[in-house]
Amino acid sequence: MTPALQLDGLHKRFGKTEIIRGVDLSIAAGERHAIIGPNGAGKSTLFNLITGRFPCTSGTVRLHGHDLAGKAPYQINRMGLSRSFQITNIFPRMSVFENIRCSLLWSQGYKYSFWNMVGRSPELTSKTMELLEQINLTSRAELPAGVLSYAEQRALEIGITIAGGADVIMLDEPTAGMSHSETDYIVDLIRKVTQDKTLVMVEHDMGVVFGLADRISVLVYGEIIATAPPEEVRANPKVQEAYLGAALQAEH
Amino acid sequence: MTGIPDSSSAVSPANGNALRSSLPWIVAVVVLLVLPQVFQANSAITILNQMMITIIFALSYNMLLGQGGMLSFGHAVYMGVGGFFCMHVMNLVEANELPIWLHVLPIFGGLFSLGLATIVGSFSTRKAGTVFAMISLGIGELVAACSLIIIVFFGGEEGISGDRTYFKPFFGVKFLQQNEVYYLIAFWTIVSALLMYLFSRTPVGRMANAVRDNPERAEFLGYSARWVRYFSFCGAGFFAGIAGALVAINFEILTETDLNLGKSGMILLITFLGGTGFFFGPIIGAIVFTLLQSVLSLQTELWQLYVGALFVATVMFFPGGLAGLLMMHQPAMRLGNLGLLVVPYVNTLIPAAIGALGLAGLMEMLFHVRHAAVGDIEMRLFWITFDSHTILPWVIAIATMITGFWLAYRNAPKLRE
Amino acid sequence: MDLVAINLIDGLFYGLLLFMLSAGLTLIFSMMGILNFAHASFYMLGAYFAYQISLYLGFWAGLLIAPPLVGVLGALIERYGLRRVHQFGHVPELVFTFGLAWLIEEVVKFIWGNNMMAYQEPEILKFALFHIGSNSIQAYKVFMIFTSMAIFIGLLFILTRTRIGLIIQAALSYPKTVEALGHNVPLIFMGVFGVGTALAGVAGVLAGPSLGTFPGMAVVLGSIVFVTIVIGGLGSLWGALIASLLIGWMTTAAASSSFQFATLLEFFGMTPPADLDESYLRDLWTLSLPQIGPILPYIFMILILVLRPYGLFGKRDA
Amino acid sequence: MRNTIGLAVSAVLALSLGTTAAFAETIKIAYIEPLSGPFATNGNTGLAEWQYAAERLVNEKGGVLDGMKFEIVPFDNKLDSKEALIALQVAIDQGIHYFAHGLSSGIGHALTAAVTKNNARNPENRILYLNYSAEDPALVNDACSFWHFRWDADVDIRLDAITDAIAQQQDIKKVFLINQDYSFGKAIVAAAERGLAAKRPDIEIVGNELHPIGKVKDFTPYGRKIVASGAQAVITGNWGPDMIGVGKSAIDAGYDGPIYTISAASLGITRTFGAAGKDKIHVVSEGHLNPPASERAKEYTAGFEAKYPDYDIIQPRIANAVEMLARAIEEVGSAEDVVSVAYKLEGMEHDSIWGGKVYIRPDNHQAIQDIHDQVHTDEGITFPLDNSEYGTISRNVIKMASMDAPTTCKMERPERP
């Protein structure tokens, strides 16, 4: 079976410094995959390479077997990949309801229509409400998104990311800067909304990753030093040495 | 209301009752039908015509600025070009006695401007922000300069004039009188405003908001930010062209001043004054500005100074514009405690208004003393005649100004609460 | 040949004048992201202040006093106007400067009236310094060229050789980082805004006598200054310099040429129509380059923006 | 909320535009000029001149028709054709039958067309156009109208005088033309080329520049061109800052010959040129202040200077217009019968306060009068301009200039009552 996402020999150079130095990775459909690594390992860069925000210096990214090189973000999205952003990235001046509804438009076949009224479709409205229900924001539907609390905004962001119905969901540090209870809430949410989907997430918080991911890749200085199920990664001495050691000891 | 804010257009439209959403439109139609009965003077109707044209133009500008987040310094180009094209159509109709009704002329103007917008938009909407703004400025300068050079189309500084009465009479109406023209313009105002309102409810209109707020995120929703901007831009061009056609019909002349940078800047001011965040904002802006322009300029030579000051004050204190100011009261209205606001309002706004009037009086007196003829020491201000060369009125003006502003300043914090 | 040399000098004069305006604007624009539409209005204020001072104390006092006055005014406007509007976002900020330009013009008209002011060069510089052919070069122009060059060198020195310059340069590219390093960025902004407007004031003081001191002088120059920095590339002082000179030489060359577009049309094998009045291309046949000279920079800018949105020397996206 | 806005509109419009002037205790003359914006000073100077002329020449003498006084009613047209048309409409609504306008031929064309249309469409509300400054020759040729009278000498007449003056100076062999790129500038070029070719075929036109109006920041290259061409005389129709730009750059670049202009006097221009322009700047126009034509002219001018120290008489023809209109109304016996007044003005001959005669050509309604070649100087000046020591003095006069120039005017005349 074709993997949902496949990276081959990915390199990225900014000027003279090479941030990503040859990443190969294959993620199967339906898998929950996490990419972890210490600060400055190139996690976000890798993330942006996959989603087409930066062009690769060399190497290929394939989504369901299709090369993504030179594709604009909206084209990648239409091929079934959706992403969130590390910094909260919602539409602050639009209502929460409108945020979600806009995210649904393309997948519901509206395209660039300027004769269809979006308000006319009960189906679209009910789908939007359904999604709002999933991310527990029904009561906030009419508020401008910019006034929500931080955790709510992150939840909304996840809602926007999954709304389009993409089967590969990429989340960039979805729990960054959150308290423990908020993190638990978001992790539950992610687990709930990504059922039957391929999930790729970059994360810093170990707890999140170990509870959620089927497999974990460890990225250190632009290279993947291990890809394995959580328990194996935990046991891997190279990983321990490079990154996890201190954190794990503190946990025990 | 037409004023359902972008931010909370929310759940209702689909299942909300149709009457509620169409009520403002019915009211608008009734008001427009009644107005010419109230004002029968041709000049009043001419000003009303101009007001309606400005409303269409401002609404079309807000398709760019308010809904699409594109700041344009050259939007008058699309109004002017559409108008000029209509003048040529008008002259063709006169020369060849073509059987066309005057009513369809705006479609010609709209389509011609749409054509220009599709060309310019193809490269100017690739990016928003500064790049778009500067390209619009460049195009604006370019077309304004061309309008003095390409005489065949623009007629130089004289412009192109024509006669609307050679069109095929519409059930006997030959458009000799201003009020006949009024109903035509009113019809197109309602149609254009309704179409623009509906446009904002379409997927492209909705996504224009998304692209305005966050183009990068919008791209990951499957929409190309550029195409969304492009479609909004073309739509705005189309409606600006309709406004231009109505200028052609109302004034029977188009000149360089209809498309130069001054006009473009004016529409930016009008739209911002009214408020870009709400659909009805530009309508308020257009009404207020047209009134200021035609009424204030009859009263004082310093009207532009006052408009400039009003504008700067609006940006500084009410960035949401007049519409934003009105909508701030919506929550209070819903809670039914609007009454609570009355006292702080009286305490703050009335002294502020008095202070402003004092300042204006001071300016007027200064101006009078410096510019009036020697020996002409009498001046009329606020229906009072007095001698501007004695000290008393100055003291009064300064005192009112200072007390007014001081009281307003002191009470302002209470209002904010 | 003489004419070429003269045009180079005249273009340099105009280009350097533009540069004094665009230097300040570049600093302001790249640091605070504000398209300050009122920048040319400060140029106008410089000229009017200097005129008023010169009535009592003479030209040189005006040159010394007017720019700091304009700078202080600019800093005050930044502190009490712009900073307030800043929190509402970029568009209101820009619209604010737009309204400010309007307001300043109206205030100038209110105070000084609509007529051109008889603001004159100082007597000691009112002579022809040298001649090229039959053309004389006024001493005042040469003085202006040297003054603006001195300002450029001084600015370059401050920016590259002093500590405050390094902070400003860093703030140009990484405003957040500089703030994190503990520098008072709002204060730097206010200072830069003041210095930028003072530079515009100097330009006004110097240009007022030769280009005329009248209420429309800001509008005439206003948008072209933007064009300059956009062409040069945001955040680049060198870019601003090169673009200013380019525009100076371009408009001077266009104004002094006598190129007819008819020549171009004939080159492409078209023949002039027998009856010019009937032809739809008649305006093109009678067009000459000086007629479109002042709009050349706008065409240039559109081309640049379409082909290279960063401008000639810019690193950041406009 | 539309309702309240509608109400506000009603209230304000009713207040400001109330058509109250049903009974006429005065004869109103609307004055439609820019009273705000960049050309407000031009508008205000003209207003002062009209008010002074009406007061001094008509009202102080007991008015016309047994005590009816002239009243000048100012309207701000903001130098925009549309606004001018609105102002005209307001004036017509107020029952005004005469209006004065002069600044900008472009607006002049718009007003002429509008007056012709109005007088045909609304015969009971006719209005007469008193043009005291719009100098486009077309207004008395192809675009002429029965309702338009011009007291100013137009471009053709002035250039006839300028080319006469140049033709008389045998040593002038090379002439340079520099003008603003619009209809006015082009009309000057055409008239200059025609006049020089007819009067002195040996004169070479060594330069013919058209530059964009109000857009050139630095005129130096043009000054260089003038010097490089070896021109011995310059003809320019430039006005405002463009005039100063051309004059200063030419003189700075080393040009030493005469500069023939249409309007390089007062409004800051005389003061700015000062000593640099002495004996170089020529202003060719009807009417002159120096030397005073008569004791009456001297008194009249002195009275104006005393009343309006900041303004100068820059349009002496306004006095002629006021006196001739008063005479026509007196002779017809009614101010409301516009058609009769117009027929009375046709062919009227009048002794001008500035010396010589004024005669209105019946075939195109252009006033024929003496044209003076005046020089900018500080010697022998009784009435300086701009509160400086400099003024213009008449050096040469051409009697009844262009009396028999051909015209292409074919006006539609109403039936003579």
Min distance B38 CA to chain C CA atoms (Å): 35
DSSP at B278: S
In chain C, the percentage of residues whose pLDDT exceeds 70 is: 97
Residues of D in contact with C216 (CB under 8 A): 38, 214, 241
Three-state DSSP at C258 gives: coil
Residues of C in contact with B367 (CB under 8 A): 110
Cβ contact D401:D361 at 8 Å = no
Helix (H) or strand (E) holding D148: strand D148-150
d(CA D246, CA B97): 48
Closest CA to A32 of A183, A151, A201, A157: A201
Of the candidates C136, C211, C214, which has its C-beta nearest D217's C-beta?
A: C211
Indicate the range of A197-211, B183-197, D62-76, D156-170 predicted with least confidence: A197-211
Average pLDDT over chain D reads: 88
Q: Specify whether D105 is located in the same domain as D198.
A: no
Three-state DSSP at D233 gives: strand
Helix (H) or strand (E) holding D295: helix D295-307
Residue B14: band (very low, low, confident or very high) from pLDDT cuts 50, 70, 90:
very low
ipTM: 0.84
Asked if pLDDT for residue B10 goes beyond 60, the answer is: no
Both tokens of A113, joined, read 């229509």
Of the candidates B201, B203, B213, which has its C-beta nearest A112's C-beta?
A: B203
List all residues 6 or more positions away from A40 whose beta carbon is below 8 Å from its beta carbon.
none
DSSP result, C44-107? HHHHHHHHHHHHHH-HHHHHHHHHHHHHHHHHHHIIIIIHHHHTT-HHHHHHHHHHHHHHHHHH
Cβ distance of B299 and D16 shorter than 8 Å: yes
Q: Specify whether D389 is located in the same domain as D357.
A: no
Interface residue of B62, B130, B264 to substitute, partner C, most C CBs within 10 Å: B130
Query: Does chain D reach chain A with at least 3 CB pairs under 8 Å?
Result: no
Asked if pLDDT for residue B5 goes beyond 60, the answer is: no
Within-domain flag for C310: no
The β-bridge partners of B334 are none
List all residues 6 or more positions away from D124 whose beta carbon is below 8 Å from its beta carbon.
none
Cβ contact C34:C94 at 8 Å = yes
Q: Specify whether D109 is located in the same domain as D39.
A: yes
| Cβ–Cβ contact D217 with B under 8 A | no
pLDDT reported for residue B91: 92
The type of residue at B345 is Y
| Cβ–Cβ contact A109 with B under 8 A | no
Looking at the 3D structure of chain C, how many domains does it have?
1
The type of residue at D2 is R
Order of strands across the sheet with A66-67?
Answer: A17-27, A5-14, A58-63, A66-67
Closest CA to C297 of C235, C233, C250: C250
- The highest-confidence range among B324-338, C8-22, C118-132, C158-172, by mean pLDDT, is C8-22
- Give the CA angle between residues D241, D243, D244 to the nearest 5°: 65
Residue B62: band (very low, low, confident or very high) from pLDDT cuts 50, 70, 90:
very high
The type of residue at B185 is I
pLDDT reported for residue D40: 81
List all residues 6 or more positions away from B336 whose beta carbon is below 8 Å from its beta carbon.
none
Asked if pLDDT for residue D100 goes beyond 60, the answer is: yes
d(CA B12, CA A129): 12
Residue D340: band (very low, low, confident or very high) from pLDDT cuts 50, 70, 90:
very high
D13-61 residue pLDDT tens: 544 444 444 445 789 999 999 887 777 888 889 999 999 999 999 999 9
d(CA C9, CA D275): 26
List all residues 6 or more positions away from C264 whose beta carbon is below 8 Å from its beta carbon.
none
Min distance D15 CA to chain B CA atoms (Å): 9
Q: Which of C 176-235 lie inside 8 A of B, CB atoms?
A: 223, 226-227, 230, 234
DSSP result, B294-347? IIIHHH-TTHHHHHHHHHHHHHHH-TTHHHHHHHTTHHHHHHT-THHHHHHHHH
Give chain A's end-to-end CA distance (angstroms, integer). Answer: 40
d(CA D289, CA D14): 45
- Give the CA angle between residues D103, D108, D111 to the nearest 5°: 125
Asked if pLDDT for residue B149 goes beyond 50, the answer is: yes
Residues of B in contact with C299 (CB under 8 A): 138, 142
Residue C37, CA distances (Å) to B64, C93, C194, D264 in order: 20, 10, 15, 32
List all residues 6 or more positions away from C61 whose beta carbon is below 8 Å from its beta carbon.
C53, C54
Task: Compare C175 and C187 and report the one with higher pLDDT.
Answer: C187
Looking at the 3D structure of chain A, how many domains does it have?
1
User: Whole-model pTM?
Assistant: 0.86
Cβ contact B285:B275 at 8 Å = yes
DSSP at B169: P
In chain D, the percentage of residues whose pLDDT exceeds 90 is: 56
Residue B311: band (very low, low, confident or very high) from pLDDT cuts 50, 70, 90:
confident
The CB density around residue C263, as the number of other CB atoms within 10 Å, is 9
Asked if pLDDT for residue D127 goes beyond 70, the answer is: yes
Cβ distance of C283 and B69 shorter than 8 Å: no
Residue B319, CA distances (Å) to B88, B266, B311, B312, D331 in order: 41, 17, 10, 10, 62
Cβ distance of C99 and B311 shorter than 8 Å: yes
pLDDT reported for residue B188: 95
Cβ distance of C110 and B131 shorter than 8 Å: no
d(CA D374, CA D368): 18
In terms of residue numbers, what domain contains A117?
5-251
d(CA D152, CA D135): 7
Cβ contact C67:C154 at 8 Å = no
DSSP at B256: G
Of the candidates C116, C252, C290, which has its C-beta nearest D241's C-beta?
A: C116
Q: Specify whether D145 is located in the same domain as D165.
A: no
Torsion sign across C-alpha atoms D404, D405, D410, D412: negative
List all residues 6 or more positions away from A240 whose beta carbon is below 8 Å from its beta carbon.
A248
What is the separation of C-alpha C71 from the centre of its chain, rounded to a whole number of angstroms? 16
Residue A30 Rama label (left phi>0; alpha psi -120 to 50; beta): left
Residue A227: band (very low, low, confident or very high) from pLDDT cuts 50, 70, 90:
confident
The β-bridge partners of A219 are A224
Residue A1: band (very low, low, confident or very high) from pLDDT cuts 50, 70, 90:
low
The type of residue at B135 is I
Cβ distance of D254 and C116 shorter than 8 Å: no
Three-state DSSP at C188 gives: helix
Asked if pLDDT for residue B411 goes beyond 50, the answer is: yes
The type of residue at A187 is V
Within-domain flag for D224: yes
pLDDT reported for residue B403: 79
The β-bridge partners of D396 are D373
Cβ distance of B206 and A98 shorter than 8 Å: yes
pLDDT reported for residue D304: 93
Average pLDDT over chain A reads: 82
Strand locations in D5-127 (E) = 26-33, 69-76, 98-101
Min distance A211 CA to chain B CA atoms (Å): 27
Q: What average pLDDT does the segment D284-291 reach?
A: 89
In chain B, the percentage of residues whose pLDDT exceeds 90 is: 29
Residue C169, CA distances (Å) to B130, C30, C105, C162, C165 in order: 22, 10, 32, 10, 6
The CB density around residue D362, as the number of other CB atoms within 10 Å, is 12
Residue D93: band (very low, low, confident or very high) from pLDDT cuts 50, 70, 90:
confident
Indicate the range of B113-122, C212-221, D351-360 predicted with least confidence: C212-221
Of the candidates C91, C95, C309, which has its C-beta nearest B131's C-beta?
A: C309
Cβ contact B35:B278 at 8 Å = no
Length reported for chain A: 252
Within-domain flag for D297: no
Residue B4: band (very low, low, confident or very high) from pLDDT cuts 50, 70, 90:
very low
- Give the CA angle between residues C78, C80, C82 to the nearest 5°: 45
pLDDT reported for residue B18: 66
Q: What average pLDDT does the segment B249-275 reach?
A: 90
| Domain made up of B6-313: CATH architecture | Orthogonal Bundle (1.10)
Cβ distance of B253 and D75 shorter than 8 Å: no
The domain that holds A19 is classified in CATH as 3.40.50.300
D224-279 residue pLDDT tens: 889 888 999 999 999 888 898 899 899 988 899 999 999 888 888 898 888 888 99
Q: Specify whether D111 is located in the same domain as D160.
A: no
Closest CA to B396 of B361, B348, B367: B361
In terms of residue numbers, what domain contains C150?
2-255
Q: What average pLDDT does the segment B371-399 reach?
A: 69
Q: What average pLDDT does the segment D208-226 reach?
A: 86
Residue B326, CA distances (Å) to A92, B200, B273, B333, D12 in order: 21, 21, 12, 11, 21
pLDDT reported for residue B195: 93
Residues of D in contact with B79 (CB under 8 A): none
Looking at the 3D structure of chain D, how many domains does it have?
2
pLDDT reported for residue D324: 95
Average pLDDT over chain B reads: 83
What is the separation of C-alpha C264 from the centre of its chain, rounded to a whole number of angstroms? 32
Within-domain flag for D218: yes
Residues of C in contact with D388 (CB under 8 A): 118
Three-state DSSP at A9 gives: strand
Of the candidates C10, C14, C295, which has its C-beta nearest D224's C-beta?
A: C10
B78-106 residue pLDDT tens: 999 999 999 999 999 988 888 888 889 99
Both tokens of D280, joined, read 């170089």
Please give the residue of chain A at the shortest CA–CA distance from B15. Answer: A122
Q: What average pLDDT does the segment C184-188 reach?
A: 81
Asked if pLDDT for residue D105 goes beyond 60, the answer is: yes
- Give the CA angle between residues D339, D342, D348 to the nearest 5°: 150
d(CA C119, CA C211): 10
